[in-house]
């Protein structure tokens, strides 16, 4: 049985909390592969969340019953009414799955007769099963892997202790859902960085997701992601609503994910953020079996895997309205699938590799021309390099709109036009391998689009000036101009070069001055080289 461990001090800030939990979780790394390690940690985070939310709701029910004048016996009879929990968006947690029960028995239960004590891993597996049994919406979602031989039970107990001592609520902190949601997202980001290229399968950098969310402004209706990964698009949409004092219940979430483990992560992630979702009853290939065949979405946000060569291609598929995608690349299959899902007034934002904007192989150029001529493209954004730690492929975002006419909200009629934004020079380097977009960068991109479209901001205090082309950054092109460019959609081709501020110095004089300075530098370089050679000549070999 694992020895009693010392309870770690409670971290005082969110950064300390996340860093402390990550370091503790890292103790389990070693004998298990990265994907299983990820499942172990994220499963514990989820179990802590559902238990904290349950206890918070339980305390509230007890307080209300006592305030109504009920005695202890009456409270005991009513406090376990499952509907009082599920009706408030809280999962029902059976007693053996509650965190307090697990923490009390983390060092092993006393033997009953000849039975040996249960290890903490067995208790956690049983807790996961009990939560899924009590909440059908979580069926097949939670990991039951904690009692395996490659899980260090002593370290698992230590990790339980640390989670138990962490202060997720109280002292004026936000709700357990918000804090644990932050921890979950932090862990997803760390796991994605640790797994390198494979990490990109389930995690899209938050800055990239925010570009899509801030431009589309999904405030209501059905939001869909056909390759939803761990659900980051939906979480950012919920954060957008919360930031603008709206309810997450204003949107309905639909998604699909091919990878089983990633699908489980998404289900847990959305539950932690209080988002009801329809991710299908199972995981599955969107091309082989669309789990939402009748869905017409108001918003689609997606980051499909780039340049897939091996995909479930069916030439007779009704989704290929603008042309049959090539066998060796699924980019235009994703684009056409997404277009097939848009409601009459729907909008979409899709992250793609830069090659999708100009490729002509396998008939892609003709498909792109058909989509442009159908006037479905509203905006193209070229993003900076190195935003994805998992790949060095430069990326862009395609924005689609089923209706670009002027609407009731006073939007500008942009029929027959496409906005091009070249944002390749934005952002800053976090380290040698990864770049990030600032809040100001994201606002500049989004506000340029909203100014062009005449879209009212959901933030009543925001002031968006009238749209103007900006050399080197933004240009509104007509379909005729795009056709003349052979339907190439690369923003750099349209926005031109940025204006250079005139310093008042005549060009001839400037060239003469710069030439003199260059030759002076050449002379200084030669002088220093002579000195170095002289010094080296004095050194005895």
pLDDT tens for residues 251-305? Answer: 999 999 998 888 988 888 888 787 878 998 889 999 999 999 999 999 999 999 9
What mean pLDDT comes out for the span 113-126?
A: 81
The pTM of this model reads 0.81
The more confident residue out of 9 and 429 is: 429
- How are beta strands 474-478 and 417-422 bridged, if at all? antiparallel
Question: What three-state secondary structure class fits 343?
Answer: strand
Residue 60 has pLDDT above 50, yes or no: yes
In this prediction, residues 218-227 reach a mean pLDDT of 94
Query: CB-based burial of residue 118 (10 Å sphere; 0-12 exposed, 13-18 middle, 19+ buried)?
Result: middle
Q: What is the pLDDT of residues 310-333, one digit of tens each?
A: 899 999 999 999 999 999 999 999
**What mean pLDDT is predicted for residues 505-510?**
76
Q: How far is CA 250 from CA 184, 273, 276, 331, in A?
A: 23, 14, 11, 31
Return the C-alpha torsion angle 374, 380, 385, 386, nearest 10. -80
Average pLDDT over residues 498-518: 74
Question: pLDDT per residue over 369-405, tens digit each?
Answer: 999 999 999 999 999 998 887 677 789 999 999 999 9
What per-residue confidence (pLDDT) applies to 1?
Answer: 43
Residues 164-185 pLDDT 10s:
766 555 443 345 556 667 777 7
Read off the pLDDT of each residue in 43-68 and give the average, rounded to a whole number.
Answer: 88
Query: pLDDT value at position 35?
Result: 66
Instruction: Return d(Cα 516, Cα 296) in angstroms, integer.
Output: 66
Percentage of residues in the chain having pLDDT higher than 90: 47
Q: Could you read off the pLDDT of 73-106 as tens digits, one per residue? A: 999 989 999 999 988 888 999 999 999 899 888 7
pLDDT, the chain, mean: 85
CB 330, CB 304: distance < 8 Å:
yes
Taking CA atoms, 506 is separated from 339, 498, 503, 515, in Å, by 53, 20, 9, 14
Quick one: pLDDT at residue 195? Answer: 65
Q: Which of 19-23, 60-64, 370-374, 524-528 has the lowest mean pLDDT?
A: 19-23
Output the pLDDT for position 244: 79
Tokens of 303: 């980051």
């Amino acid at each position: 049985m694992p020895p009693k461990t010392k309870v770690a001090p409670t971290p005082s800030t969110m950064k300390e909390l996340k860093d402390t939990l990550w370091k503790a979780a890292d103790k389990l790394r070693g004998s298990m592969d990265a994907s299983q390690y990820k499942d172990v940690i994220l499963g514990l985070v989820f179990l802590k969340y559902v238990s904290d939310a349950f206890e918070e709701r339980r305390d509230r029910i007890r307080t209300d019953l006592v305030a109504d004048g009920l005695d202890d016996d009456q409270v005991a009879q009513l406090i376990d009414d499952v509907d009082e929990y599920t009706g408030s968006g809280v999962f029902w947690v059976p007693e053996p799955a509650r965190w307090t029960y697990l923490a009390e028995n983390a060092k092993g239960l006393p033997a009953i007769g000849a039975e040996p004590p249960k290890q903490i891993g067995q208790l956690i597996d049983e807790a996961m099963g009990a939560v899924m049994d009590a909440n059908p919406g979580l069926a097949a979602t939670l990991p039951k892997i904690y009692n395996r031989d490659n899980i260090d039970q002593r370290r698992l107990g230590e990790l339980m202790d640390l989670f138990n001592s962490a202060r997720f609520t109280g002292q004026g902190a936000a709700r357990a859902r918000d804090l644990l949601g932050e921890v979950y997202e932090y862990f997803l980001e760390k796991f994605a960085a640790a797994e390198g290229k494979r990490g990109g399968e389930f995690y899209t950098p938050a800055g990239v997701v925010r570009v899509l969310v801030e431009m589309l402004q999904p405030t209501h209706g059905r939001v869909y992601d056909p390759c939803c990964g761990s659900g980051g698009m939906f979480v950012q949409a919920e954060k957008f609503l919360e930031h603008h004092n709206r309810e997450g219940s204003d949107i309905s979430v639909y998604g699909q994910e091919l990878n089983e483990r990633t699908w489980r992560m998404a289900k847990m992630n959305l539950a932690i953020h209080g988002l009801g979702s329809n991710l299908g009853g199972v995981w599955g290939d969107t091309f082989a079996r669309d789990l939402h065949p009748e869905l017409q979405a108001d918003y689609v946000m997606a980051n499909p895997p780039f340049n897939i060569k091996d995909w479930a291609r069916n030439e007779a598929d009704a989704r290929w309205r603008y042309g049959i995608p090539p066998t060796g690349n699924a980019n235009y299959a994703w684009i056409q699938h997404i277009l097939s899902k848009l409601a009459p007034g729907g909008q979409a934002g899709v992250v793609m590799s830069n090659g999708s904007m100009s490729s002509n192989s396998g008939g892609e150029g003709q498909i792109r021309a058909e989509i442009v001529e159908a006037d479905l493209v509203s905006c193209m954004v070229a993003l900076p390099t190195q935003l994805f730690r998992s790949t060095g492929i430069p990326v862009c975002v395609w924005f689609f709109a089923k209706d670009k006419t002027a609407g009731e909200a006073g939007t500008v009629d942009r029929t027959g036009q496409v906005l091009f934004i070249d944002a390749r020079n934005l952002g800053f380097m976090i380290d040698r391998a990864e770049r990030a977009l600032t809040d100001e960068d994201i606002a500049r991109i989004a506000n340029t689009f909203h100014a062009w479209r005449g879209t009212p901001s959901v933030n009543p205090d925001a002031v968006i000036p009238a749209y103007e082309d900006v050399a080197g950054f933004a240009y509104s092109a007509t379909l005729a101009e795009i056709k003349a460019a052979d339907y190439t959609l690369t923003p750099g081709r349209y926005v031109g070069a940025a204006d250079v501020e005139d310093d008042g110095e005549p060009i001839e004089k400037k060239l003469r001055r710069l030439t003199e300075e260059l030759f002076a530098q050449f002379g200084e370089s030669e002088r220093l080289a002579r000195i170095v050679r002289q010094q080296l000549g004095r050194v005895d070999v």
